[in-house]
Structure 1
């Protein structure tokens, strides 16, 4: 949201958002090493060197994408849990939240899967910490439903569920041939819940 900003500040914020969006798309298509600053600038209508006005380098841009999405997941999952619903309803809401993320963030998922090693050490540590905290949100909720299952096994279930849902971007075009959004969400939701509760 860019309310309360001057026109210049709003334009800069909009350009940064565009750079993040286009960088995710290009990194997903070509890989981090296959994208130049000139490619990034061209994608948002500026020169390559003008990218430095927004990010110190290409690695910082990658960091902003992957740290940002990890924070978004943790914050969104935290809000779901904080709503205080019964564990069963909270699990359904977490699954719906993550399915929505996967279906709207295919490029970012592909970048995260392939380019984690390209992050700076500091950003990689931050991403890993945020990811662990996100998993623990799910573990707490699952523990409310599966008391007899050890926490380590619940973590395995959560990771497996994420893998199932996050694999969607790799096969989305083929998988969606003749499958509408509502049906796709229903399939992913049903499979995710089954994987967690099996």
Structure 2
């Protein structure tokens, strides 16, 4: 294969990936607004400006779209959380970065978060298993950091089971943000950060910063 053929194939591949991403964005918006059950594959295509039959070049069914959406967001959270934890920062700084990372995902993918909270049960069994596995692993990375902070006296001493409950509570709090009343991002971010840290038992202002 010569360079011109390779270049054309790369361009086609990039165009297909861009179109697929556009369709997923349209699907997330439709499903967040109307619910998975009420959305047809043709509705997603119409929002993205393509015909219903053309949708089948990208996805085999509406459920395939949902599987892809929720697997993508779960993989993004898990890999991003790992990247934060693997930077080697002090435990409390790592915790701050984890909270900030999670909020960043919420800000960029609010529709997907709404769909995940409401329509997780509509996944195929295989996708449901993989999503829940990624979610559990993501939670455990957070729990490790919470325990490290507690060991240094930066959070209250707690059993791992309690740390896990607190992390789940933080996710519930943060993941509700797409449904909160509108607020400027520069005010909402520090508010959510402070609330998340408080849910983990941090004493904000006691030598610790949310910056």
With the length of structure 2 as denominator, give the TM-score of the two structures: 0.87
Does residue 37 (structure 1) correspond to residue 51 (structure 2)? The answer is: no
User: Post-superposition, which runs of at least 4 consecutive aligned residues in structure 1 deviate over 4 A?
Assistant: none
Instruction: Write out per-residue CA displacement over residues 109-153 of structure 1, whole angstroms, 9 at most, x where no aligned residue.
Output: 110011111100000000100000000000000010124311111
Which of the numbers 125, 136, 140 marks the counterpart of 1:132? 136
Deviation of 1:7 after TM superposition, in Å, equals 2.3
In structure 1, what is the Cα distance between the partners aligned to 2:79 and 2:73? 10
Structure 2 residue runs of 5 or longer lacking an equivalent are: 1-6, 152-156, 203-211
Q: Please report the RMSD computed on the Cα atoms of aligned residues, expressed in angstroms.
A: 1.2
Where does residue 63 of structure 1 map in the other structure?
67
CA contact (8 A) 1:37 1:49 kept: no
CA contact (8 A) 1:106 1:169 kept: yes
Deviation of 1:45 after TM superposition, in Å, equals 1.3
Q: How does 1:102-141 map to 2 (within 5 A)?
A: 102-141=106-145
Which of the numbers 177, 184, 189 marks the counterpart of 1:168? 177
Where does residue 162 of structure 2 map in the other structure?
153
In structure 2, what is the Cα distance between the partners aligned to 1:38 and 1:99? 32
Which of the numbers 184, 189, 195 marks the counterpart of 2:193? 189
Where does residue 73 of structure 1 map in the other structure?
77
Deviation of 1:175 after TM superposition, in Å, equals 3.7
Structure 1 residue runs of 5 or longer lacking an equivalent are: none
Deviation of 1:55 after TM superposition, in Å, equals 1.1
